[in-house]
Each structure stands twice: as structure tokens, then as C-alpha cells.
Chain A
Amino acid sequence: MAMKLHEYQAKQVFADAGIPTPESQLASDVDGAVTAAEEIGYPVAIKAQVQVGGRGKAGGIKLVEDEDEARDAADEILGMDLKGYHVDRVLVEEAVDFTNELYVGITMDRGEGKPVAMVSKKGGVNIEEVAEEDPDAIAREHIDPAFGMHPYQARKAVYDAGIDQSIARDVSSVLTTLYQLWDDRDGSDAEINPLMVTSDDEVIAADAVMNIDEDALFRQPELAEMEEEAAGGDELEQKADEYDFDYVRLSGNVGIIGNGAGLVMTTLDLVDHYGGEPANFLDVGGGAKAARIANALDMVFSDDNVDSVVFNIFGGITRGDEVARGINEALEQFDEIPKPVVVRLAGTNWEEGMEILNEDLVTVEQTLESAVQRAVEYAGEVNEQ
């Protein structure tokens, strides 16, 4: 999983490494935004700091010419709901007068198992669309991770992309620095889109994306500190973070708990197959003890959309007896079970688990298929009422 830095954080990281970025200040209220705009000098861009794509189209970026406009724009953007994310900070940034917009990026090509550097003259638009519609417009250069990016590779990518001679040297310098950052900081993606070109042939990073491999945060203490500020997601996803679950909230009403990513995904697919709608993906991981199992139930019960729960455990290193204890623990505290729970236990110690499990509190099914069918039925009954 990648930790996504906010634009203002990524720009700071880029600027510190010597990549030209526009002058900017972070603000969390309207007065602060206006003061920042005055200091930077109009025109400025006011940009919502939330981690969703297409901020501009959704009204999260506004270009303003004077104080009145700045006040209106900051007032509108601060506090707005942008694709489900609450905006509580804006970046106030010098508006760059550009003649051209480029794209540069580094990512891991999983098919090749190697990093790849990408350069394109078609910046400023969704690069994934460019990749689909006009793949030749993006020059790609695979990098041997043992050697790093050779200087010639940066030049080659820039020339292959057809970048003008007048700025080629500057663009390849930005690309080289970007790779260095990606490599040093355990990036999963590092991207500048657009890299603006000004009328006097300067290049400047008008946006910044820096996603960090979460598995590497242990050796990136500075970035790990930024994680707290970068943390997003809704209340339930934050709760899942606290419990340390792999959790994804979905829009249906059948809650799903299981062990192992592939099996939980399969359980979701089966809910859909039998005519239900999954409310979530929740993987308790391997070797979960009773307390963790109880937390998982608490997690799914906290989602108001959930009408029934299917609990599917195939134990390898997870033990059926621990699972059963956890389910009992979570359910025995209720006078009335809030939502019907269907349990299917298989694998390590499933027989011990079945003996421990309080069957007055749950519905037991023997197979994955029948457990899912039963949970879908329950959810359907609730909806009819």
C-alpha cells in the first residue's frame, strides 16, 4: 500500500531536492489564505489539499486575481466536500504564466519488476488517458535498480518524448532528481503533472505527486511523520487503521469478515454472485487471536449500512478456537444481536471452534457458498421490512 503525500508535502520534498516549484503557502482559514495571497502577489491559485484526482474539475482549484476573489474562493473551497473528502486546508500558490505543460514521472513497472521513467509533451491532462489513447506520446525508459538511472537514460527519455532542445537539459535534470528522490525515499510513484514551461524557457513543478511504499516507512522516519497529516479516509477507515485491519468500505449491506486477501475477495464476489451487495472488505490477517476477531465484528457493526454479516475463516495459522472465542466475546455483550451473523469455520482447529461457538448467537453454515447465501438472505429480509 502506498502512503500518499499531500501536494504541499510533496512540493516541499521536491523543492528541498532542488526541483523548481512555485512560491506557495498553506492556509487553514479564509483570512490566512488572503494574507498568503497578498504576500505571494496576485494572481494566485487556491488549491484544496485533499487526495483525490480531478480536483480542478470538481471545483477544488480556483485562480484568483484580487482580494475579493481570493476571499470568495477560499471561503468556498475550505469546508467543501470533495468526492467524499472534507477540505480543511488550501495551498495558496503563485500562478505560473506558462506556454506549455509537460509530464514527468517515475513508477514501478510490476510486469518488468523494474522502475520506469516516463516523459511526455502531453502534460496537464490525465496521463492514464494519454497512455490509453496515445501510448506513443509517452517516452518510457526502464531503469536497472542495481545501477540507478544513467544520465544518458534521462536524456534519452527527454529526446524520445520530443521535448524542445531549449528546455531538454532542464527537463532531464528534473527527471534525474525525481528518480533520485523516488529511489532514496522508497517511492512507489513520483510524478509532476504538469511540469510547466514558461515563456522564458524555465520549467516549474505546478503539481506534485509522491506516494511512498508503506512497507518501507520504517526506514523513512521523516516521511512517516508526515503520515499522520496525510492520513485520510472516512471515520470507519480511520477506525480500521487503529485496529490495523486491511479494510475497504463499499456501498452494499452485507458485512464481510475473513482471513486472507484472496479468500475475503472471493467472499465479496460470492455475495455479489448470490444477488447481494458487499458492504466492505475486511481481512483480519493471519493468526488472529480472539480480541482481534471481536474488534473485526465491532468494526463491521459500526457501519450503519450493514444488515447482516458473513464471517468466513479458513484457518491455516488462524485457529478456529480463537475465532469462536472472539465471536462469543463480541456478541455476548449485547442483549440483542444488532445484526445477524453467519459463521463458517474450516481448517485448523475448526472442530474445537464449533464446540466453543455459542450457536444461540449466530447461524452456522458448513460451506462458504451456503454461508454467503444465508447472509444475503438475511440482508434481503431486513430490506423488505
Chain B
Amino acid sequence: MSVLVDDDTRVVVQGITGGEGKFHAEQMMEYGTNVVAGAVPGKGGQEAAGVPVYDTVHEAVEEENADTSVIFVPPAFAGDAVFESLDSDLDLAVAITEGIPTQDMARVNKRLSETDTRLIGPNCPGLITPGEAKLGILPGNIFSEGNVGLVSRSGTLTYQVVDSLTNRGIGQTTAIGIGGDPIIGTDFVDALELFEDDPDTDAIVMCGEIGGEDEEEAAAFIDDYVDTPVAGFIAGRTAPPGKRMGHAGAIVSGSGTGTAESKINALNDAGVPVGDTPAEVADHIEEFLA
């Protein structure tokens, strides 16, 4: 079992004729993902990465029964590409693109409230159900099948934590990178809810970072609704206020909101242990599963 993605997922890749889109479409297929089509305006009728390309996502849905989109469209056009996926009756859209203007995402966010399509990202590595399928750019070889759900705002930090788990023989149901932008689709609360409802997920890792209040909201949600044990990690304890740490969303504002301390306290208050190091997170998960 898993959440959101498995080997039945039928994927259309938006931007499949670009360098990144083509490379990662092939990588996804190699991992076992059922990529059924590409969508690129003006490239309809061609073939890329061994699948047919359509001009619109609608056509890919109609002709190939795609139910999920992975978006590798350059930032200037990515907001529009996300709108297209949301308007195409898909179950899931995954936006990998980094650098989408925030105002475009505010409009996307508005549309999200009106559609049944779930969005992951943008500015995220995607998600993976080990042994079945991956959507995005995560390196499949570090993941292994198992019973731990993982949700993270950061890509490479996810790999680091997964590595610590895999080294101890602890595998994952699904790992979701929700992205490091200020406005994202699926957030911690959404992902926690999915894992809580998944009978095969026996423990959850949640990797947050400074900026915003998503981790605090997640802590409140865990306190009220989550019975599955959760271990946390928060990046950016040493980040000075007012300096953005790479991710557009990773900034402690001048008034002191979004600090690591506030997030760690909130999680601890909800009974979630927070590791000082990625290895300590794996220690906690090991204890939960023992």
C-alpha cells in the first residue's frame, strides 16, 4: 500500500520535449512509472521518451487516460501549465519547476479550492512509492519498500534522512517532497492525513524548515488527529532572521515568526520528538517500530 502514486498511476509529462522533461520521463519509466504521454504545445503528433506527445493535457487525458501530470515546464510558463493540469480532471499534478512567480501561485491556489485535483509542489522533488513508481526527480536507488511515510519541504534533506533509514533496513511506503516555496499545493497537514489513513504506514517522518507556520499547524493537527507515531526534523536552527536560506519560503521574518524554535516546541508539545541530526530522526523511527 501507499499513498497518491502506485504502478497503476497513468502519467502525462508536461514539458517532455525539454532536456529535463525528457531525461526525467525516461528515469521515471526506468523506475517502473507508467508514463503514457507527453504534453507540449506545438509538439502534438511527435514522440518523446517513447510515448506520444499531445498539444494539450486534455488530449493526453482523452487519448491515453492519463490521471496524473508531472510538470517540467520553465518557470515563466509553469503557472499556466499548472492551471492546464487543474482544468483537465486529473487526480494529481506534480509541479517540479523552481522559480514560479509567487503571484502566479496565489492564482493557482485560488483555483485549487475549486477543483478536485491535488497539487504537489511547486519547487519540489516529487514523490515516490518504492518498488512501484516515482513522479519527479528523486533518485530511486536510495529508497526501499517498507512501512514509514515521509513528508518533507526539501529534496536533498529527504535523501539524507531516507539514507539514514535505509541503512538501518527501514523502508518507506511513500515519500513526498512538498516543496520549498511560500505557496504550495499539498502541505504537511494534507500529507499527514494521507499517511494516517494508510493502513501500511506505521510511522511518519516529517522534515520541516524555517519560515511560515505550516509546521506549527501540522503539530496542532497531529495532536488532534494523528495516532501514527511521528518523528520530526527542522532545518535552519542557526539561520539568522531576515536572510533567506535558499528556498523562497525558508526565511525567518523580522518579527520572529517562522523560527526553528517555535516549530520544534510546537512539535514537542504535540508529542513529536525532533532529532538534532538526521541520524537521530532514524533513531526515533527505529524505536517506534521496535
Contact = CB atoms under 8 A, between A and B. Distances in A.
Contact of B137 (A108, A246, A317): A317
Interface stretch (A6-14, A89-97, A255-263): A255-263
B152 to A, nearest CB: 7
B75 interface: yes
Nearest to B216: A111
A259 B157 CA distance: 9
A128 B256 CA distance: 9
A113 interface: yes
Contacts of B246: 246, 260-262, 264-265, 281, 283
Nearest to B167: A367
Interface string A108-132: 1011011100000000000011011
B238 A183 contact: no
Output the residue of B125, B155, B180, B210 with the most chain A CB within 10 A.
Answer: B155
B105 interface: yes
B277 A273 contact: yes
Contacts of B180: 261-262
Contacts of A215: 75, 99-102, 248
B228 interface: no
B186 interface: no
Contacts of B210: 265
B120 to A, nearest CB: 15
Contact of B160 (A183, A213, A368): A368
B44 interface: no
B59 to A, nearest CB: 26
A183 B210 CA distance: 27
Interface in B29-63: none
Given A110-B182, A246-B246, A263 B160 contact: yes
Contacts of B276: 273
Interface in B94-111: 99-107, 109-111
B235 A128 contact: no
Contact of B157 (A216, A248, A266): A266
Contacts of A193: none
A272 interface: yes
Chain A interface, DSSP helix/strand/loop, else mixed: mixed
Interface residues of A toward B: which range?
A: 35 or more
A273 B233 CA distance: 14
Contact of B76 (A108, A218, A286): A218
B153 A262 contact: yes
B102 A219 contact: no
Contact of A262 (B137, B235, B237, B240): B235
A314 B110 contact: no
Contact of A269 (B153, B207, B238): B238
Interface in B264-290: 276-279
Interface of B: 75-76, 99-107, 109-111, 125, 137-139, 142, 152-160, 163, 180, 182-183, 207, 209-210, 212-213, 233, 235-240, 243-250, 253-256, 260, 276-279
> Nearest 6 pairs between A and B by C-beta?
A262-B154, A261-B246, A260-B156, A262-B157, A216-B101, A113-B109
29 contacts: A1-B248, A108-B102, A114-B106, A145-B107, A186-B101, A213-B103, A215-B75, A215-B248, A216-B103, A219-B101, A258-B156, A261-B180, A262-B154, A262-B155, A262-B156, A262-B247, A262-B250, A269-B238, A271-B238, A272-B237, A278-B238, A281-B243, A286-B155, A314-B160, A316-B125, A347-B159, A348-B139, A367-B279, A368-B278
Given A108-B103, A260-B157, A261-B246, 13 more contacts: A108-B102, A113-B105, A113-B106, A145-B103, A186-B103, A216-B102, A246-B245, A258-B156, A261-B250, A262-B154, A262-B156, A266-B160, A273-B276
Interface of A: 1, 53, 108, 110-111, 113-115, 128-129, 131-132, 144-146, 183, 186, 188, 213, 215-216, 218-219, 246, 248, 250, 258-266, 268-273, 278, 281, 283, 286, 314-317, 346-348, 367-369
